């Protein structure tokens, strides 16, 4: 297949994915788990989300994971048999969906000639306390029906005891007590067995809980597959298949706190830029996609996030990242449906996800929201970079900053960013944030704490002056921004932002540079079917005023929810005037992204 044909096949679904999905919506088959092994595993299934503090309106999707049961040993044969028996009861109950029976005549398989029929009639119709099946059968002619009968009898005993305890003993007839006594004698074996089975189940449950990975630790994960290509550059960018994997361990010690340890791997390299002669000039910044962020290169596995959340009182949420914290980990971004916290279920690009003011810096430090959950709240945070450059080293060497005791490193003497924001959320339709940032950057400005730009043009990140000065002096950043989202109704939401930054590269002899960014987005949740999302956004990535042309970013995507755990998102990113350079051509990226969450 030729290169042009391959590119056409890739961009066609990306350009027309939203339209085709509406005309011929996908039918996602719901997966029903019914196997014996799954029923056993369900007893150890853990529900987990990478949960942000209550102040953060945009919650991460919840995923589930079942811990594997240990292999059977010589002493576990009886345990396995008992568990299999329990599973049989569970399957039967699921298949028939027990319902309340109010008349004994509804129990079609209990013969009126049986002496138990009169007893059932007295108990069921007087106290309504025996559970049967919706198909009007009590199933007393099978081996299990005596246990079912014993369960119903036990229910009636509980009901009568409640009446006596409630001082309504006069409602309980003496002859009913005699009937109950006789039934107890008749079904003494079944009642004893029932109690034994319940006790056995409790023992098995306790055993399974002890055999879990941890009683306080839960696992969630996200895997992104992306087939993507760039089409407009004069040089040749190949069609690529890239991935990113994240596994998150979430532990809680009080039920309200969360310790986060995340492992990540990825191989998503950004596309290259070219001049008109076809010579490679660098990497595309403005079309940087979500799965490019946090790529480890060659799928090497790193611990890429270590942090702890905990409350102080009822309305203060505190966030302490030991490594790779970001301001949008604890602070509301007011970006609506585009925000997925650099995950794989929101916008395609890093730029489209939120106001770039939240992308300045990151690392180790502290953040807090005061008045969490209230209409008016205040968020404050300070983060010292984990990837600061030390000028005493070679220009290509970068060391961990917040944990490095060397000069120009450490928690307070290297690159940092401090952010403050007032949040106003009067109802579930409107959310507004006013933010101010002060930062010192040794390397790029809009880097998400990684040192290399993930947002904005090269001029906005001062790559031109940093390169000329050997990246030794650094830049001082002061800026402010407003972000807002408004839900017109349950099917339409509009969001936008605007930011202005005054940045001074120290030692360049040029003075301060003004940097701008603004955008407007429109999202349509449940478009076509529940769980889908159609999004369109246009705006300007951070750019330096008075230099070249203003870059314009246009993005459209359509997320199709196949199941609760799988989504496919075709989309297009079009950047006009990338790099603010008049001689550069536009950037056009087509992507089909598949996201698995668990």
- List CB contacts of 378: < 8 A, sequence separation 6 or more: 369, 370, 371, 420, 421, 422, 423
Least confident segment among 150-159, 285-294, 297-306, 451-460: 150-159
Highest mean pLDDT among 47-51, 251-255, 586-590: 586-590
343 vs 182: which has the higher pLDDT: 343
Cα 89 to Cα 197: distance, rounded to the nearest angstrom: 11
pLDDT tens sequence across 462-520: 887 755 555 557 899 999 999 999 999 999 999 999 999 999 988 777 778 999 999 99
The C-alpha R_g of the chain, in whole angstroms, comes to 31
- Highest average pLDDT, of 89-98, 271-280, 432-441, comes from 432-441
Q: Residue 191 and residue 507: Cα distance in Å, rounded?
A: 86
What is the structure's pLDDT at 303?
94
Phi-psi region at 515: left, alpha or beta (left = phi > 0; alpha = psi -120 to 50): beta
Check if the beta carbon of residue 568 is closer than 8 Å to that of residue 259.
no
> Which of 175-184, 508-517, 549-558 has the weakest average pLDDT?
175-184
Rounded to an integer, the average pLDDT of 259-270 is 95
Spatial contact of 117 and 110, defined as CB atoms under 8 Å apart: yes
pLDDT band at 140 (very low <50, low <70, confident <90, very high): very low
> What pLDDT sits at residue 383?
97
Q: Provide the pLDDT for residue 126.
A: 72
Identify whether the C-beta of residue 323 lies closer than 8 Å to the C-beta of residue 48: no
- H helix runs in 231-373, sequence order: none
pLDDT score of 285: 83
- pLDDT exceeds 70 at position 533: yes
The pLDDT of residue 145 is 60
Name, in order, each residue with C-beta under 8 angstroms of 78's C-beta and a sequence gap of 6 or more: none
User: 283-292, 570-579, 587-596: lowest mean pLDDT where?
Assistant: 283-292
Greater model confidence, 521 or 414: 521
Q: Which two tokens stand for residue 39?
A: 């029923």
254: confidence class by pLDDT, cuts 50, 70, 90: confident
pTM (whole model) above 0.75: no
Average pLDDT, rounded, for the chain: 77
pLDDT higher than 60, residue 551: yes
**Model pLDDT, residue 212:** 56
Residue 324 backbone zone (phi > 0: left; psi -120 to 50: alpha; other: beta): left
Q: Is the pLDDT of residue 171 over 80?
A: no
Q: Where are the alpha helices (DSSP H) in 513-554?
A: none
Contacts for 394 with CB less than 8 Å, ≥ 6 apart: none
Q: Residue 26 has what pLDDT?
A: 38
The C-alpha atoms of residue 226 and residue 244 are separated, in whole angstroms, by: 9
pLDDT-derived band at 104, boundaries 50, 70, 90 = very low
Highest mean pLDDT out of 61-70, 198-207, 350-359? 350-359
DSSP per-residue codes, 411-457: TTSS-EEEEEEEEE--SSSEEEEEEEEEEEESS-SSSTTSSS-SSS-
DSSP string, 25-81: ---PPPP----HHHHHHHTTEEEE--PPPTT-SSPPPPEEEEPPPPPP-GGGHHHHH
- Strand, helix or coil at 125? helix
Asked if pLDDT for residue 107 goes beyond 90, the answer is no
Any idea what the Cα angle at residue 563 is, between residues 558 and 569, rounded to 5°? 20
| pLDDT value of residue 387 | 66
Look at residue 281 in the predicted model and tell me its pLDDT: 81
* Beta-strand runs (E) in 83-123: 99-100
**pLDDT tens digits, one per residue of 333-371:** 999 999 999 999 999 999 999 999 999 999 999 999 999
**Phi, then psi, of 281 in degrees rounded to 5:** -120, -5
Q: Is residue 114 predicted with pLDDT exceeding 70?
A: no
pLDDT of residue 393: 43
d(CA 542, CA 446): 8
Query: Which pLDDT belongs to residue 224?
Result: 98
Q: Domains of the chain: which residue ranges? A: 77-210, 218-516
CB 356 within 8 A of CB 447: no
The answer to whether the beta carbons of residues 52 and 309 sit under 8 Å apart is: yes
Neighbours of 306 (CB within 10 A): 16
CA–CA gap between residue 118 and residue 325 (Å, rounded): 70
Residue 80 confidence class, pLDDT cut points 50, 70, 90: low
From 352, 353, 347, 355, select the one nearest 558 (Cα to Cα): 347
For residue 278, give the 3-state DSSP assignment.
Answer: coil
Whose CA is closest to 538, among 575, 490, 586? 575
State the pLDDT at residue 307.
98
The DSSP secondary-structure symbol of 402 reads T
Q: Residue 347 burial (CB < 10 Å; 0-12/13-18/19+)?
A: buried
Least confident of 163-167, 283-287, 426-430, 551-555: 163-167
* 303 contact partners, CB below 8 Å, separation of at least 6: 261, 262, 263, 264, 323
Percentage of the residues of the chain whose pLDDT score is greater than 90: 46
pLDDT (mean) for 267-283: 85
Q: Which residue has the higher pLDDT, 250 or 148?
A: 250
Torsion angles phi and psi, residue 358, rounded to 5:
-80, -10
Residue 47, pLDDT > 60, answer: no
Residue range 378-407: average pLDDT?
Answer: 70
- Would the pLDDT of 71 be above 50? no
User: Could you tell me if 490 and 442 are in contact, meaning their C-beta atoms sit under 8 angstroms apart?
Assistant: no
Asked whether the beta carbons of 237 and 251 are under 8 A apart, the reply is: no
Q: Which of 229, 232, 258 is nearest to 242 (CA)?
A: 229
Task: Please name every residue paired with 504 in a beta bridge, in sequence order, or none if there are none.
Answer: 476, 512
């Amino acid at each position: 297949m030729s290169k042009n044909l391959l590119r056409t096949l890739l961009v066609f679904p990306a350009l027309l994915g939203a339209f085709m999905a509406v005309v011929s919506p996908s039918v996602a088959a719901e997966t029903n788990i019914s196997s014996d092994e799954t029923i056993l595993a369900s007893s150890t299934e853990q529900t987990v989300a990478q949960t942000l503090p209550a102040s953060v309106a945009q919650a991460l999707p919840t995923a589930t994971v079942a811990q594997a049961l240990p292999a059977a040993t010589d002493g576990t044969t009886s345990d396995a048999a008992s568990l299999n028996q329990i599973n049989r009861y569970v399957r039967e109950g699921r298949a028939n969906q027990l319902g309340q029976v109010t008349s004994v005549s509804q129990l079609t398989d209990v013969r009126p000639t049986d002496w138990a029929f009169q007893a059932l009639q007295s108990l069921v119709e007087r106290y309504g306390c025996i559970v049967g099946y919706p198909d009007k059968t009590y199933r007393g002619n099978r081996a299990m029906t005596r246990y079912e009968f014993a369960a119903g009898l036990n229910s009636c005993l509980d009901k009568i005891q409640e009446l006596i305890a409630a001082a309504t003993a006069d409602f309980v007839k003496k002859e009913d007590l005699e009937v109950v006594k006789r039934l107890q004698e008749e079904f003494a074996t079944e009642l004893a067995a029932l109690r034994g089975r319940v006790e056995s189940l409790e023992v098995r449950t306790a055993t399974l809980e002890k055999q879990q990975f941890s009683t306080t630790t839960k696992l969630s994960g996200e895997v992104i597959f992306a087939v993507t290509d760039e089409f407009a550059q004069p040089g040749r960018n190949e069609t690529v298949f890239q991935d990113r994997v994240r596994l998150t361990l979430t532990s809680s010690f009080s039920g309200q706190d969360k310790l986060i340890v995340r492992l990540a791997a990825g191989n998503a390299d950004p596309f290259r830029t070219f001049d008109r002669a076809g010579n490679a000039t660098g990497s595309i910044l403005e079309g940087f996609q979500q799965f490019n962020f946090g790529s480890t290169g060659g799928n090497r596995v790193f611990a890429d996030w270590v942090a702890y959340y905990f409350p102080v009182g009822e309305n203060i949420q505190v966030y302490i990242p030991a490594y790779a914290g970001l301001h949008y980990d604890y602070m509301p971004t007011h970006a609506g449906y585009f925000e997925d916290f650099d995950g794989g279920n929101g916008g395609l690009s890093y730029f489209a996800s939120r106001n770039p003011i939240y992308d300045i810096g990151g690392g180790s430090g502290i953040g807090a929201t005061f008045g969490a959950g209230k209409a008016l709240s205040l968020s404050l945070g300070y983060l010292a970079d984990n990837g600061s450059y030390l000028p005493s080293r070679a220009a290509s060497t970068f060391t961990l900053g917040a944990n490095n005791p060397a000069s120009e490193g450490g928690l307070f003497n290297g690159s940092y960013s401090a952010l403050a924001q007032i949040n106003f959320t009067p109802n579930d339709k409107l959310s507004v944030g006013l933010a101010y940032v002060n930062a010192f950057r040794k390397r790029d400005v809009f880097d998400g704490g990684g040192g290399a730009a993930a947002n904005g043009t090269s001029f906005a990140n001062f790559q031109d002056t940093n390169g000329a000065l050997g990246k030794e002096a650094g830049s001082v950043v002061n800026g402010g921004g407003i972000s807002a989202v408004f839900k017109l109704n349950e099917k339409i939401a509009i969001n936008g932002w605007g930011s202005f930054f005054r940045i001074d590269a120290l030692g360049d002899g040029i003075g301060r540079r003004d940097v701008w960014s603004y955008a407007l987005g429109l999202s349509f949740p449940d478009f076509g079917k529940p769980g889908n999302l159609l999004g369109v956004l246009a705006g300007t990535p951070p750019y330096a005023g008075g230099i070249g042309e203003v870059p314009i970013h246009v993005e459209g995507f359509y997320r199709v929810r196949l199941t609760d755990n799988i989504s496919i998102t075709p989309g297009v990113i079009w950047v006009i005037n990338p790099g603010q350079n008049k001689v550069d051509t536009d950037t056009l990226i087509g992507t089909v992204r598949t996201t698995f969450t668990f």
